[in-house]
A and B are shown apart, each in its own frame.
Chain A
């Protein structure tokens, strides 16, 4: 991808996003003044616990058979197919479920749930697995020794190990052999204030609008409004991890 091309796609992405966010705001929460898209934080300012980034996923809207979010994530983060699904990293995956009692089928995307009390962070011997002030759970790949204890501890199997030498990384998402990695909520976008994570953007582009990204702490944000208005669910709520990713429709 040449620089010009990527700039252009970026631009069109943003324009599109603006529109999508506006419509979402109007239909989801009429009458409520919404500050719109997240304001970009100045680059020299540290993230703070005033924000808590999260996702809301509506499995009713998630189309079975559609994996636009997965493809978008892979493209965005330079994740390629190498030796097959058993060893290739998957930061986000589509899961199809059947309700045991009713037999109803649903599908949804599953990724790092960005817990407030992440088990992966507790077990990491070097502190490479950590939670940023703004709630994003990351792996500091400079101190990760590749012990995989976090993968043993994660209740969502959200983490992957890089099983081979990589050569096709994208410049804003350095990745490499021997470290564990997982969804970053597209942290490079969040810090740049450039809109939604790639998965959310792709879902909106497909007009499914099953994923919503935002600041859970901001009571004027769309995601906060939705959480107020509807019953949502945490996966493995029994573990009391207070996840940053919530689900509707399951």
Chain B
């Protein structure tokens, strides 16, 4: 394995400006959507007093969780000392920052009063998991920025391991925090489960890795740099393990729920119920997000690059479906306020079998805007600093490279 040279992305091509232009346009439209929603108030969205967190939160949580996981590759290189991942450390850190920024912006722009962001920064209730998360997110930015700096600056190079460990621990805590936003809500059948935290960590691993693979493939294809099979196969094998791990926690979550009678109602609602969350769970989360990628990754198909890309995309789609069922499905099921009674009527929807939610266009646009911001930051970062290994061809990247065999 030879020494890795890092370069930045060629920023003067038509393609580059075209991409930046498209992203900027998407972001502008998203800002327009935000203005529309904030000016009119949230009644123009699909959210209401029953489904208080909607599609923007699905996008936001997805991006935040994926951000933490995108750092995986860097961690495996630094913390677990796997040589093949080391050249990817910078890129993986950049992607983490980009995704986190996109997610947080969506979250903030959906607040009822985004103009009061300063209040969120100056008033804290330390019992609130949300408040912890504000520290965890800002800390994540700081630590990962330092980590990148140490990796890039030769003089600081000797400390980068320390920064890498710190980033690794921090992002485990961060995802624990994100999962706990839901895990500690005693009121709701869907959420009252400490397993939310490890489930979110496993999800962050799989979604972050899937995002990373796609970003890596796109960047190298587009900049016409070489990306060897060895790295890709390695990454997809790891992704497969993460997908399986996430599925294990999903299984554990539902099995515990199925054991406890008080949660039967919710389980029946999700697994067999009449709402759109049932197909989202079975088709989206299980079939598309779990079974199909595992089939792709661990059969002959897994040797093809396009199949790896498709598999990663499926993981992302499945993750999106999963966050939809967790965030929106969890609210859609009515709360058991009167366990011994059946609610006959109520003006506030207590008698409903479940609460329906249809996202409005501005919400969808806002979410996509968050993704666009993440991509923009990633591309921009690649253009201004040297994040990209010049070549990831097998003979450069793979420590076990032998002339004709690969992987």
Contact = CB atoms under 8 A, between A and B. Distances in A.
Please determine whether chains A and B interact with each other in the same assembly: yes
Interface of A: 67, 70, 82-83, 85-90, 93-101, 105-106, 110, 119, 121-128, 143-149, 151-157, 160-165, 177-180, 235-236, 239, 250
Contacts of B405: none
B185 A164 contact: no
Given A98-B342, A163-B41, A145 B186 contact: no
B331 A82 contact: no
B325 to A, nearest CB: 16
**Which of B49, B116, B120, B129 gathers the greatest number of chain A CB atoms within 10 Å?**
B49
**Which of B134, B331, B347 gathers the greatest number of chain A CB atoms within 10 Å?**
B347
Nearest to B348: A93
Contacts of B138: none
B112 A144 contact: yes
Given A86-B50, A124-B130, 9 more contacts: A95-B348, A126-B124, A126-B131, A127-B123, A156-B337, A161-B42, A164-B43, A165-B40, A180-B112
A154 B124 CA distance: 20
A101 B338 CA distance: 13
Interface string B113-130: 110110110011101111
Interface residues of B, number: 50
B187 interface: yes
Interface string B328-369: 000100011110111111111110000000000000000000
B342 A97 contact: yes
A145 B116 contact: yes
A126 B350 contact: no
B114 to A, nearest CB: 8
Contact of A86 (B49, B116, B346): B49
B119 A87 contact: no
Contacts of A106: 341
Contacts of B125: 121-122, 124-127
Given A94-B346, A97-B342, A164-B43, A146 B113 contact: yes
A164 to B, nearest CB: 4
B337 A178 contact: no
Contacts of A239: 186-187
Contacts, number: 182
Contact of B348 (A119, A153, A157): A157
B171 interface: no
Contacts of A147: 111-112, 130
B53 interface: yes
A128 B123 contact: yes
A160 B41 CA distance: 13
B120 to A, nearest CB: 5
A239 B114 CA distance: 33
Contact of B347 (A85, A87, A148, A236): A85
A125 B113 contact: no
B52 interface: yes
Contacts of B347: 67, 70, 85, 90, 93-94
Contacts of A82: 43
Contacts of B117: 145
A179 B113 contact: yes
A74 B238 CA distance: 58
- 5 pairs of A and B residues whose beta carbons are closest in the complex: A146-B112, A178-B112, A155-B187, A125-B130, A164-B41
B304 interface: no
**Which of B50, B52, B53, B185 gathers the greatest number of chain A CB atoms within 10 Å?**
B52
A103 B35 CA distance: 50
Interface string B27-58: 00000000000101111000011101100000
A236 B188 CA distance: 11
Contact of B185 (A98, A105, A152, A235): A152
Interface string B127-146: 11111001000000000000
Given A98-B344, A145-B112, A152-B52, A87 B127 contact: no
A152 B188 contact: yes
A86 B49 CA distance: 6
Contacts of B53: 148, 152
Given A126-B123, A145-B116, A147-B130, A87 B42 contact: yes
A174 B344 CA distance: 34
A98 B350 CA distance: 13
